[in-house]
Every structure is written in structure tokens, then in C-alpha cells.
Structure 1
Amino acid sequence: MIEKTRSRFPRVATSTTAILLASSGSLFAEGNALQKYILDGGPTMIFIGIAILALIALVVFNFINLTKSKFVPDDLRAALLEHMTACRVRSAIELGASHPSYLGRMTAYALPNIDATQPETLGRDQVEDAMADFSINENRKNMTWINYIGLVAQAAPMLGLLGTVIGMVSAFGVLAETGQAEPAQLAGQISVALLTTMWGLITAIPAVIFYFFFKNKLNGLVADAHHSAEEMLNASLQTVNADAYLTKIPEGVAV
């Protein structure tokens, strides 16, 4: 049974390939859109096609990676705020260390710098410096994938221009061989040459948009994480210095 299947497979593959070649040949003979707008662009279209695939992959990855659940999940934020309001710093550190989110790892990295011997500030400067150090290292990793989108945005027009130059050289080569300028022939050659420029711009324009979109989204998520950490620290400070805060309230003002 296996041998029969194996013997049939080459015939099926051959016939299928023949059908595909015949159908593709008929499509190309009719000058369909694939031939007219993509394949006629020449070998440079291969590199532009790779750039398009890279852009799609990077956009999908950043959409998955840059989410609130991976940076500042609401449940973790509420739990950490509850611990810090009750001055359970060790519990907050353990909870943050057990969570893979940005906020969890940042709190696990920064909160050990809290200094209980300084009740008025709790070592706020050291904690904020630790949060800044964490963000510098962590943001570099996230920005790497966003910068690749910027690289596609810069490289795609250059590839398009390269294809156009190659096509124009070919067009003038035809002109030099024939010795006369035939408008129809030159127009066809120039049209093919400009295909790569068109696809380079089609790739670069959305790449620029996505680059700034994801960059701003990352900045917003990081700012939200820092705001949450500041809120937790302020909650602990208010708990530790509750009596001092009350003495500063003018007489007759409701709390």
C-alpha cells in the first residue's frame, strides 16, 4: 500500500506542477496584475518583498508585546497598591518578583531600595533611581523591535530607488542599441523601472506610521508603570506619616 502511494506521488506532483505552470503561464500571457505590478519590477522586488514580510511580522509582534496586560495589569496594580498601603513592602516585592509583567519586575527591582530608617521619604530618591535604571535597560530591549520598523521605513525607499536606477539604465541601454527613441517602448521601460519606487513608498509610509505609533505606545505604557509605582510609594508614605499629615491640616478643615 505504501509503495503504491509512493509510486503515485511523483505522477500527482508532476501533473499538479504542470497544471500550475500552465495556468500561471496563461495568466502571465494575459498580462494580469501580478505580472504587471509586481513581477515586472525585476529582482529588486524580491528584497522589497522581504521588507514587506519583515514589516508585517514586526507589526504583529509589537501589537502582541505592547499590551497593558504585559506592562501594567490591573489586578497586579491593585494588589501591589494594597500591600504598599499596608506597608507590606516584602510582600509587594515577592508579588512583583512572581509576575512577569513590566510593573512586577520593576517593583521587584526598585522596592528593595526602600529605607525604613528614613520615615519622611522612605529612601524615595534611591527607589526612583532604581526605577529609572530598570526602565533604561528594559526599554532598550523593547525599542530594538520598534527600531527595526524604522529600519524598514528607511531601507524600503532606498531599495525602490535602486530598482528604478537599474530599470532606467536598462531603458537607456535599449535606446543606445536601437539608436532611436520610440516613445511606446521607452514608456514601457520607464513604467517597469518606477514599479520598485512605488512599492518602496507603499512599504515605507505605513512603516513610518507604525514606528511612531508603537514608540508612543511604549512610552505611554512605561509612564503608566512609573505612575503606578509612584502611587504605591506615596501610599506607604501617607501610612507611615499619617499623624504628621493630620497635624498639617488647618483647624476647622474637614479631612
Structure 2
Amino acid sequence: MTSVRNVPSASIFKCAALCGLLLLAASAARSEPRVYIDRVAPLAYSVNGVQQGLLHDLMSEMARRAQYTGAITPMPLLRQRFLISSHDDAIGTIWRMADNEDKYRWWCKLFEFSFVMVAAPGSSADISSIEAAKDLRVGVILGSPAEDMARRSGFRNIQTANNAAANLGKLELGRIDIWIAAPLVLKATEAELGRSLATLRIGKPVGKIGLYLASSHNFDARQGEKWKAAFGSMQKDGSYAQIMKKYGVPLDETEHHAAKR
């Protein structure tokens, strides 16, 4: 058996150096945050196994500028909110609502969406005002800002679904009277189903809500500032506007609000 004293010192040095590099790599991997985003079209979705979407593109460019090499993981809304609030090494996108205001550290606003009431073309549902629609059967995505808005607005018969297509199906079958959704979600649902939804009746807006980059309160502040700076640089050089334009999002209100904290 070869004794340690017979092993050349150069080999021992190389082995030690390799171990050191492996430890550094493992440490660097652990120091990178876990990144989660909303898994809902048109924000983040998969086509033939390829991830894409407004939020996917925004976060991918932010990650590049923040020198982040890990994965950007799309998640269902409720699961994503839980992971970001309960893991101090996680950061991601959260809709800022009344019930979660104190649960997160809010780094920067990415954009703001309006949500509207939608009714079937042949229905008699009154969508002229929130007050007129409060007793109607309302469809929303579970855990979404639309659900939060519906509850805060006083709708009395709220029914949840897992995705936009399910809400559209319920609307067309008469199982709900109205659907609360963002106009961009309507466009994405059109694209997903491959048919026009132009005959749907669009009612009054229910409200606006912002999507933020957020983390737990104990998240590494240096990492948070790095991601925030990456987003700021995107606003300055026009890449933010370019991505928003690609997905048909007007920048008048969105850009103004995103420039704020």
C-alpha cells in the first residue's frame, strides 16, 4: 500500500486546490438566491418546453445584469407566495395586496395592471358598476390579485379556478356570471385557445394592482439591492420598455409607477 509520505507533494497540492475550488463553487451556489415568478400566461408559460412570457423575459434580463446563474422557477401563485415569505434565501414576484403588505420586503415595482369585469356576449349581467355586479357569481384565479380585489370590493359570490381558461369555460357555460381579469390575460387566453374573444362584454374596471420584486424581511440586503439596481438599469437603457412593448403593455401608467419604489 502506498503511504502518504510516498505521494508526491505536487499531487497533494493539486488535490487540495481542487477541493478548495469545489468548496468555493458550492459556497457560491448556496449564496445565490432562489428565484420564483408567477406561472400564469402571459407572464410566464411554456411552449414546447421553452419558457417565455413578459415576466420571464423581464426577470431573465434582470438576472443577467445581477450576475445570477441559477434557475428562474415559475410557480402557482399561492405556492410562490408561501416560498418567498418563508425562505430567507428566496426572492421573486409578488402582487402587492392588503393582506400581504407586512409579510414581505418590497424591492421595486415591476409594473401595474388594471382588472376589469368580463361577461358573456349574450348574458344580461349588469357590469356597468361594481355595485350593480356585487350579487353576481364572480370567477377569479385562486390566489390572484383578482380574487383579492373581488373580496375587497364586496362581491358576495366568488368562485375560484386554477387558470384563466377554466374561468372562460365556466363563463361560457353559464356557471359564473362575470370573470375578473386583466386585459393582457384575455389576450393570452385568446392566443392559448386559438380563437377570438372579441365578443366578450368588457365592463367597468375593478381596480389596479402592482407586481413587485419582493422577499422575506431577512433576505440578504446586498442581493436585493443588486436585483433592484439591475431593474433600474433596464429602465434607463430602454430594455424595460422594449420588453413591455413586445407584449403589448402600454407604458404610460406602468412606466410611471414602476419608476417609483
Bigger fraction of residues in helix: 1
Bigger fraction of residues in strand: 2
Larger Rg: 1
TM-score, normalised by the number of residues in structure 2: 0.24
TM-score, normalised by the number of residues in structure 1: 0.24
